[in-house]
């Protein structure tokens, strides 16, 4: 079914999520900052991935799947919410994970705890985790393909979900999320700033806010080639929804300078910003996505690269706060 025909959807999230002004940060930075609270989607402790699962799970059911296979970092927010959704429909959830998957050279630095946060919740939701030694993302993808093949040989009907739910359905959910935000605040925003990783969130927001707000993604991965994947995904979404215009590589604004020491690797700057926002606004950010995105937001404001009215998209990830090691 094409996206223009409204793909099947199940209600998992409490929508619309709130939008509100961050008064103390606005005063502190002399720039008007608002926040979209996708940490409050309400499903399996919240987060943006629930929006994608509202479309991915019906597609899996339509395919007759009794097992879903995906992959990610050990503390994956997507795996946690996927496990919860699978539990609701009696589908097995299988996930290949590494503590610190990487692109290029292995990261140096400390990762998140391996037995708390999302990992604990994965156990609660009966996710079958297959943990491998750290390696490249391509190695992790290959291991995931092998697992799917083995499950199919064992007689399972397998539905494979790309990392982070980054598919046309995942991006479509964020086209709708952008429209949700515009309906809440019709006066709009000059910029929308969001964490960005596997791509469907930034692609959907870019396409949904087209002509209304400039979307800036703050990368959680040190991979400059990601924008090519974004453009490819955008074309697929546009092919299925003729009302949307595909986004070319050069049109994406993806900032790579705030990754720190690597994907899912802790850094002092991010932890300091998480504490600052908690103490200024009573808000929790996570150390993998929203924390680093806030580092980027503050720096870009200081450089006057972001001005006017700004919407910060909080993508959730709160369970990983409980996996931070050596918190001061």
Helices (H), the chain: 23-29, 49-62, 77-88, 118-124, 137-153, 168-184, 200-208, 226-240, 268-281, 290-302
CATH number of 3-47+166-323: 3.40.50.1100
Architecture label for domain 49-165: 3-Layer(aba) Sandwich (3.40)
- pLDDT-based confidence at 237, cuts 50/70/90? very high
Identify the DSSP state of 134: S
* pLDDT, tens digit (0-9, with 9 covering 90-100), for 92-102: 999 999 999 99
State the angle between helix axes of 290-302 and 268-281 in degrees (0 to 180), rounded to the nearest 10: 90
Sign of CA dihedral 151, 155, 156, 161: positive
Query: Could you give the C-alpha distances from 139 to 38, 104, 142, 144, in angstroms and in order?
Result: 31, 12, 5, 9
C-alpha gyration radius of the chain: 19
Using one digit for the tens of pLDDT, what is the confidence trace for 44-61?
Answer: 999 999 999 999 999 999
From 6, 76, 116, 272, active-site residue: 76
Residues 193, 95: Cα–Cα separation, whole Å: 29
Mean pLDDT of the chain: 95
Q: Are 197 and 317 in contact (CB under 8 A)?
A: no
Instruction: Check residue 5 and give its pLDDT.
Output: 67
Query: Is the model's pLDDT at 4 over the cut of 50?
Result: no
The arithmetic mean of pLDDT across residues 304-323, rounded, is 97
Per the document, the length of the chain is: 328
Please confirm, yes or no, whether 99 is among the known catalytic residues.
Answer: no
Q: What is the C-alpha to C-alpha distance for residues 207 and 174, in angstroms, rounded to an integer?
A: 9
Tokens of 314: 């909080």
Six-digit token string for 115: 């037995």
Query: Which tokens is 297 given?
Result: 């937001």
φ/ψ (deg, to 5) at 181:
-65, -40
Residues 164 and 284: their CA atoms lie apart, in Å, by 21
Domain boundary assignment for the chain: 3-47+166-323, 49-165
pLDDT at 328 over 80: no
Handedness of CA 169, 170, 174, 177 (dihedral sign): positive
Do the domains 49-165 and 3-47+166-323 match in fold? yes
Q: How confident is the model at residue 6 (pLDDT cuts 50, 70, 90)?
A: confident
Cβ neighbors of 123 (< 8 A, separation 6 or more) are none
pTM: 0.96
Question: pLDDT confidence of 104, banded at 50, 70, 90?
Answer: confident
pLDDT-derived band at 106 (thresholds 50, 70, 90) equals: confident
Give tens-digit pLDDT for 108-122.
Answer: 878 899 999 999 999
Structure tokens at 46: 């919240």
pLDDT of 213 > 90? The answer is: yes
């Amino acid at each position: 079914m094409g996206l223009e025909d409204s793909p099947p959807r199940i209600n998992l999230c409490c929508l619309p999520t709130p939008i509100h002004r961050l008064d103390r940060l606005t005063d502190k930075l002399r720039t008007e900052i608002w926040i979209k609270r996708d940490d409050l989607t309400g499903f399996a402790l919240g987060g943006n991935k629930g929006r994608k699962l509202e479309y991915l799970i019906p597609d899996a059911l339509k395919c007759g799947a009794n097992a879903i296979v995906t992959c990610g970092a050990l503390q994956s927010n997507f795996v946690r919410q996927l496990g919860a959704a699978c539990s609701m429909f009696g589908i097995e959830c299988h996930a290949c994970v590494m503590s610190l998957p990487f692109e290029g050279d292995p990261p140096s630095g400390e990762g998140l705890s391996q037995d708390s946060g999302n990992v604990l919740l994965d156990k609660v939701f009966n996710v079958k985790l297959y943990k491998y030694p750290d390696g490249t993302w391509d190695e992790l993808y290959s291991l995931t393909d092998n697992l799917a093949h083995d499950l199919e040989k064992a007689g399972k009907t397998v539905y494979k979900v790309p990392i982070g739910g980054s598919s046309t359905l995942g991006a479509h959910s964020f086209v709708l999320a952008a429209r949700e935000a515009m309906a809440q605040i019709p006066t709009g925003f000059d910029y929308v700033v969001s964490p960005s990783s596997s791509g469907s969130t930034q692609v959907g927001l870019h396409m949904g806010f087209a002509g209304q707000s400039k979307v800036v993604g703050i990368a959680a991965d040190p991979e400059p080639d990601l924008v090519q994947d974004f453009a490819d995904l955008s074309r697929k979404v546009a092919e299925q929804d003729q009302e949307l215009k595909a986004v070319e590589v050069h049109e994406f604004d993806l900032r790579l300078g705030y990754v720190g020491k690597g994907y899912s690797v802790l850094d002092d700057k991010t932890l300091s910003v998480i504490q600052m926002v908690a103490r200024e606004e009573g808000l929790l950010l996570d150390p993998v996505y929203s924390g680093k995105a806030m580092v980027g937001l503050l720096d870009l404001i200081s450089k006057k690269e972001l001005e006017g009215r700004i919407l910060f998209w909080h993508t959730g990830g709160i369970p990983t706060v409980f996996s931070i090691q050596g918190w001061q």
